[in-house]
Amino acid sequence: MPVAVSGASSCRDRTSEFQAIAERLKRSPAFSAANGSMEGSSARAGGPLQQHQSSGSLHSEFNRRASQIGLSIHQTSNKLHKLTQLAKKTSIFDDPAVEIQELTAVIRQDIQALNSAIEDLQRVCDARNEINRNKHSSDHSTTVVGNLKTRLMDTTKEFKDVLTLRSERRRPGGAESSTSQASSSSLSSSQSQTQTQQLVPTQDHYLHSRAEALRNVESTIAELGNIFSQLATMVAEQGEVAIRIDENMDDTLSNVDAAQGQLLKYLNGISSNRWLIVKIFFVLLVFLLVFVFFVA
């Protein structure tokens, strides 16, 4: 009993001391540096996964934007077809000038938005190519961007041609002007002086609206010229990329031909060595037969 009492009296509760030591270690710089190194190593271990996820998100974003731009170009082409039909009308009393101006403004805004969207898509393509080093994927994305640029440039050129046609028809001496003059002369010859005087304000309003439409068309053509030059520059850069790809293909074909020639040389060398081994085998066989039959 005395031993048990002395053993029990020698035990101490050191929980508070352990907690104090742990708290001091937690505040120490060595513990902070070790913790930071562990977090850095875990971040580096998760780097490839984050890079893979970033590449996948860029791929999805690129496909989504490319599909949306292609659909927008198709819709703009439909609007341009409608504008072409309206621009071909030459009647003085059924001139859709207001509708043409509204549709022209809408198509101009669409082309500007598509130009900006393609520039953003080019940046997404460059960022994706920097992360993903797959040559086939990079060539595919570059081809998609180049195709969209070419389609937008064709649409812009067609829009400029339609506006040029409209401007020529609105100028004095054009097809529309001659039609209006013929209509005015026929009306003056067939109607009285009073009806001709009533027609003069209508003609003045028509000429004023025609001049206003002509100024709008010319300003739009000037803006389209800037957009067209930007697209031409981008397409030229795309052409340089295509030329480099073609040169790489030529180099690859030449390397394949050279490799094929080396393989044929190796095959011929193996074939000649095979005949040499067969000849040596026959010589040894002859010596063996001579030794067996004549010497032994």
pLDDT in tens, 245-295: 777 777 888 888 888 888 888 877 777 777 777 888 888 888 888 878 776
Q: What is the pLDDT of residue 229?
A: 72
Higher-confidence position of 237 and 205: 237
Mean pLDDT on 5-26? 64
DSSP for the chain, please give it: -HHHHHHHHH----HHHHHHHHHHHHHSHHHHHHHHHHHHHHHHHHHHHHHHHHHHHHHHHHHHHHHHHHHHHHHHHHHHHHHHHHHT---SSS--HHHHHHHHHHHHHHHHHHHHHHHHHHHHHHHHHHH---HHHHHHHHHHHHHHHHHHHHHHHHHHHHHHHHHHHHSTTSHHHHHHHHHHHHHHHHS-HHHHHHHHHHHHHHHHHHHHHHHHHHHHHHHHHHHHHHHHHHHHHHHHHHHHHHHHHHHHHHHHHHHHHHHHHHHHHHHHHHHHHHHHHHHHHHHHHHIIIII-
**Percent of the chain predicted with pLDDT > 70:** 57
pTM of the model: 0.49
Segment of 30-39, 50-59, 171-180, 268-277 carrying the highest mean pLDDT: 268-277
| Cα 85 to Cα 93: distance, rounded to the nearest angstrom | 17
Q: What is the pLDDT of residue 155?
A: 85
User: Is pLDDT at 83 greater than 50 in this prediction?
Assistant: yes
Mean pLDDT on 72-89? 86
User: Is pLDDT at 192 greater than 80 in this prediction?
Assistant: no
Segment of 26-35, 62-71, 212-221, 243-252 carrying the highest mean pLDDT: 62-71
Q: What is the pLDDT of residue 116?
A: 87
What are all long-range contacts of 12-15, with beta carbons under 8 Å and residues at least 24 apart? Answer: none
Can you read off the two tokens belonging to residue 110?
A: 């669409």
User: Is pLDDT at 203 greater than 60 in this prediction?
Assistant: no
Contacts (Cβ under 8 Å, ≥6 apart) of 96:
86, 89
| Cα 281 to Cα 296: distance, rounded to the nearest angstrom | 21
pLDDT bracket for residue 10 (50, 70, 90): low
Domains of the chain: 43-85+94-168+219-237 (1.20.58)
Q: Over the chain, what is the mean pLDDT?
A: 70
pLDDT bracket for residue 66 (50, 70, 90): confident
pLDDT bracket for residue 7 (50, 70, 90): very low
Q: What is the pLDDT of residue 208?
A: 61
SS3 292: helix
Higher-confidence position of 181 and 95: 95
Which pLDDT tens digit goes with each residue over 129-184? 777 666 777 777 888 888 888 888 888 888 888 877 777 766 555 444 444 444 44
| Cα 161 to Cα 220: distance, rounded to the nearest angstrom | 12
**Percent of the chain predicted with pLDDT > 90:** 0
